[in-house]
Structure 1
Amino acid sequence: MIYHGIRMKLREGITSQQIDEALDCLKDQGRTIPAVKSFIFGREYHSDFDWSAVFALEDLDAYWEYLIHPVHLTSERVAFPLIERFESFDISDTPHPELGAKIAELQKRHYEADPGLAELLSGLDSHTGSSALGHRG
């Protein structure tokens, strides 16, 4: 199992309506993407991030299905313009020496297939972790 996590710090000055739309999109990822086995989404406390989510994905095929699912793509397009800082990470209970590199390659393919999405990401003040542009594992 791969647990894909994201952490977000929202920009100042966005409206509550924009926030609600972005959060609804993120929740929809867990509710509607078949590859997601379970998820948790909510506010972060006692940190510099505002919201976080973790999605449980069975394997690399499920990870790819999650990345390219239309609900995930919509979520990225809605949320990225509202985010100041974005961090992603992956945890797995299955030891595999090349898993990190394989995840990074999936993320790279995802952004190469959609230059507009990569452009949105490049507009973030900070983007770190497994989904960071230029990350090669």
Structure 2
Amino acid sequence: MIYHCIRFTLKPGVSDEEKAAGLAQMGEHVNAIPAIKARVVGPDFGGGFDYGAVTVLEDIEGYEQYMNHPAHLADVPDVAELVAGLGEYTGSAAPGSCRFII
């Protein structure tokens, strides 16, 4: 299993409607991208970020399918317009197989 996790902070001035639409758009990936086994999007707790998302994928092929899927690629520019800061972690249960980007 691969766990792709992002944490993000919204830009000042993002409206409640923009926030709700962006989070809903991210949440719909589970329905649009077959490689996703599970997806959670919501408030982030215990850190310097507002929200987070965890995507569970079966294997590296699923990760590649997810990252290159048209639904994911279409959402990146829209969501990026709302984000001020981003942290990312991708890893698996295998020892030594993770990376951090902050």
Q: TM-score range by the shorter chain?
A: 0.7 to 0.9
- Is it true that 1:2 corresponds to 2:18 in the alignment? no
- In the superposition, the TM-score normalised over structure 1's length comes to 0.67
Determine the structure 2 residue equivalent to 1:89. 89
Determine the structure 2 residue equivalent to 1:18. 18
- In the superposition, the TM-score normalised over structure 2's length comes to 0.88
- Structure 2: state its 5+ residue gaps: none
The CA distance in 1 between the partners of 2:81 and 2:39, in whole Å, is: 23
Which has the larger share of strand? 2
Which has the larger share of helix? 1
Answer whether contact 2:3 2:57 (CA < 8 A) is retained: yes
- Deviation, structure 1 residue 81: 1.1
Determine the structure 1 residue equivalent to 2:58. 58
The CA distance in 2 between the partners of 1:62 and 1:45, in whole Å, is: 28
Q: Supply the AA of the counterpart residue of 2:15.
A: T
CA deviations over 1:30-75 (Å, ceiling 9, x no partner): 2321001112221113422111011111111110100011111122
- Structure 1: state its 5+ residue gaps: 105-127, 133-137
Residues 1-137 of structure 1: matches in 2 within 5 Å?
Answer: 1-95=1-95, 99-100=97-98, 129=101
User: SS of the residue aligned with 1:90?
Assistant: strand
User: SS of the residue aligned with 2:28?
Assistant: helix
Answer whether contact 1:28 1:71 (CA < 8 A) is retained: no
- Deviation, structure 1 residue 78: 0.9
Larger RCO: 1 or 2 (CA < 8 Å, sep 6+) = 2
User: SS of the residue aligned with 1:88?
Assistant: strand
- Aligned-residue CA RMSD (Å): 1.8
Aligned length: 102
